[in-house]
Structure formats: C-alpha cells, structure tokens
Amino acid sequence: MIGIDIFSGAGGMSMGAIMAGIDVKVAVESDINAANTFKENHPNAEVYCDDICNISLLNKYNDVFVVFGGPPCQGFSVSNTKTRNSDNANNNLFKEYVRVVKELQPKWFVFENVEGFQTFEKGRIVRELYEEFNSLGYLCTSEVLTASDYGVPQNRNRFFMVGNNCNIEYVFPQKNNYKVTVHQAISDLPSLSNGDCLDELPYKKQRPSLYAKSLRTDKGISLQNYVSRNQDYVIERYKHIKQGENWKSIPEELMSNYKNSDNCHSGIYRRLNPKKPSVVIANYRKNMLIHPYEDRGLSVREAARIQSFPDDFIFKGSLMHIQQQIGNAVPPILAKYIFSQIIKLSLENE
C-alpha cells in the first residue's frame, strides 16, 4: 500500500500512516528544516524539498494507494486576523493538491487542514474541493475531528476530507470513550529548568502510563530535552499562574510592558492542567505554554509527546524551527486512526 505525503511538514501524517501499515515512498515539503526532519525519520522515502508547484509526479509512481497531506493553513486559520482572506497566496495551494491527485489517481486521498478551512468564505473552498474531486471520480466525505477523541492528549480540532475512486463510503472512526491527560502524557519525562538543552536524559523512575509506555524508547532515554530560555521576568510571571490558568492570573505590575493587557489572547501564558488533555500545541513557545508542575516552558520532547510523536522521532533544525515543526504537525495517532479505517474499509470491499 504505497503512500505519498505532500505538504508533509516533519511527517506526522506519514508516521500515522506507517503505524497503520502504509508504505510511505515519497514526501514533498518546501521547508528545508522540516524536509530534513522527514529524511532523518524516514530514510527509505524519497524526499523532494521544493515548492509543490515545481514538482510533477506524473508517471513516476504506479498503483498509489493513498495521497495525503495538508496545504499551508495560515490563510484559513480563524486565529489569523491579518491575512485570513482570498489574497493570501497559500490559499490557492489546495489546487496543487488536486493536481497531484489528478496526476497519480490514487485509490484514496486524505486532505487535512485547520478547522477554519470548513467555514472559510462560507464554505466556498470546501464546496469547490468536492466538485473537483467528484469530477475526478472520487466519492468524498469530510468532518472536523478532535484529537483528544482518538487517544491524543490534546484538544486539537482539524478538518479532514477523505475520498476514494473505489465507490466506498468512508465512515470516520469511532471516538474513544476515554481521554489521555497531560499528566499521563509527560509525567515520566525528566525534570528540567529554564533554558536546558540536553540531548539525552533518563526517564523518571516511576511507572509510565500506557500512553507514555507506547511512545518511550527502548533504551530508557528521553531525547531532545530542549527548553527555550525565557527572561527572568517571564519566569516570575509563570510563578503566579496555577494549573489551567492563563495570563489573567499575573499581577498587573508584572505586565507593565504590555500597552493594553486587556487585548492579550486567552491562549498565552497558560499553565497546562495535568488532569485534562492539553490545549492546542501550536506555536507553544510564542504562546508561552507552561509546564503543569515546573516554572518553565515545555520541552521539545514534552510537546512532541502531547502531539503523540514517539520518543525516538528526531527533529532537525534550530530550536525555533523544531518548535514550529511540532506545532504544525498532524498528531500521528490521530492520523493512524484515519488510515486504519481506510485499510479496514478497503479490505471489506475487495
């Protein structure tokens, strides 16, 4: 079952596809750091580091089982108040996705984007996608899924459209009846301090949760324990924020560098609640997401755990680029559910 990942990023969807049993042969990603991360973790895949507009896969790969990926989402995100409009150049990249599907004619495709994609311009883009794929012979269905409903310790909503040219009606996988919490996700990872940059540390000597155990390395070592170094005044702010609270808990005199703190986004300076799934791990450095028990930001490994990446997954690039790759990724475990359902339905309809 050959898979091709376009707009691959670091490879979260590919990791989920591989977990489900798909052989990911190709990735296309324009960002050099994300492409290098993909190469590091998928050494047998062919990685094109280039603009998708410059690449044609026509006649290069036969009998492709599934094409998947998500075009850049900034133009569709409801959190983007500056360039969420038709003039954003990235908004037209979904047409390149359609082109690749037309060229390769895979049995299945999975199109992923932010939740706001569904409502952008009152659903015009979604309707256009349906029309394009229907004209190519694909039966499609779409839905917004919440990652925490599928074993990911994070309340992250993503839009998915799944289609096939086998006339199979895709039904999205059933939700789990339990939630994985932040505590279950990261409590076995090593304690760290502000600004730590440690490649290897042993796990804590405690029994890991089933979730943590499923992601741990065989060597008992946590990799890439990197924490952004915040200024002392930022750490002082952290000390006033209890679990589940945000910047509103910071004394006013410590927020004097904000011209109008009333305009602060509710997502900044939020200490994670260990008893619940995490808030969205997006730009977690910029948003100043705080460790549930320690007065510091999240480490690379902690953020990756909350995104459901296995602990032996290595990110390449500077710390800022690594943090961006993690924040942009599709949680692998969520992707695994989607691909596993595709395989199940394909086998049932053979």
Tokens of 222: 């946590």
The Cα–Cα gap between 135 and 302 comes to 44
Give the DSSP H or E segment for 279: none
End-to-end CA distance of the chain: 14
Tokens of 267: 């997502």
Whether 197 contacts 143, CB under 8 Å: no
Whether 300 contacts 322, CB under 8 Å: yes
Please pick, among 49, 53, 73, 197, the residue that the annotation labels catalytic. Answer: 73
φ, ψ of residue 161 to 5 degrees: the values are -120, 125
Per DSSP (E only), the strands in 105-210 are 108-114, 139-146, 157-164, 197-202
Sequence-distant (6+) residues with CB within 8 A of 62 are none
Q: Is 73 a catalytic residue?
A: yes
CA dihedral 34, 38, 39, 44 (to 10 degrees): -160
| Cα 20 off chain centre by | 17
The Cα–Cα gap between 326 and 350 comes to 37
Q: Which residues are catalytic?
A: 73
